[in-house]
Structure 1
Amino acid sequence: MKSYTSKSGKDSGVTGYETGRDYIIVAFGDNHYIYSYGSAGKLVVEKMKSLALASAGLSSFIARHNPGYEKKY
């Protein structure tokens, strides 16, 4: 899992992420959420991946759009 630090300098709820071909796992502290093409849609997952890689706006995007997640652990 890669660490996530927002480039904006604001405190982000996201602490880490991991990407795969058709999913992204987002960590909020000890809680991990798997967002997949099947649960959130391809466009949403790809947008989340790009935000994660840019370290910009991932937490805000999730809060604003509330994408469906496949699993929480």
Structure 2
Amino acid sequence: MQRYSNRSGESGIVAYEIGRDPKEPAIIVEFLGGDRYLYTGHSAGVENIARMQELAHEGQGLSTFTSQHVRERYARKLT
């Protein structure tokens, strides 16, 4: 997992990991409190995953985008 930059200082996201399989775009997002969720192209849409990956790299806007566009569309909650 890579630490999320959190440029706004107000994000509920602390870390992320971008999937490496080009056939199945994915991102794992870790929230404050330790909950981790896997979002995939299949569960949340390929375009949404691409945008989440961009925002993760930029360090800003990922939490807002996640809550507004993909919210419960995760593939699974990780333990």
Fold shared per TM-score above 0.5: yes
- The answer (yes or no) to whether the contact 1:33–1:71 under 8 Å persists in 2 is yes
- What is residue 54 of structure 2 aligned with on the other side? 50
Confirm or deny that 1:37 pairs with 2:36: no
Instruction: Check whether the contact 2:17–2:28 (CA below 8 A) recurs between aligned residues.
Output: yes
Report the CA distance shift for 1:67/1:41 in structure 2 as closer, same or farther (over 3 A).
Answer: farther
Return structure 1 stretches of 4+ with deviation > 6 angstroms. none
Q: Note the 1:55-66 alignment, pairs <5 A.
A: 55-65=59-69, 66=71
1:44 and 1:67 in contact (8 A); partners too: no
In the superposition, the TM-score normalised over structure 1's length comes to 0.90
Taking only aligned residues, the RMSD between alpha carbons, in angstroms, comes to 1.2
Counting aligned pairs with the same residue, the percent is 38
Match of 1:69 among 59, 63, 74: 74
Q: 2:44 and 2:68 mapped to 1: Cα distance?
A: 14
CA displacement at 1:67 relative to structure 2: 5.5
TM-score, normalised on structure 2? 0.84
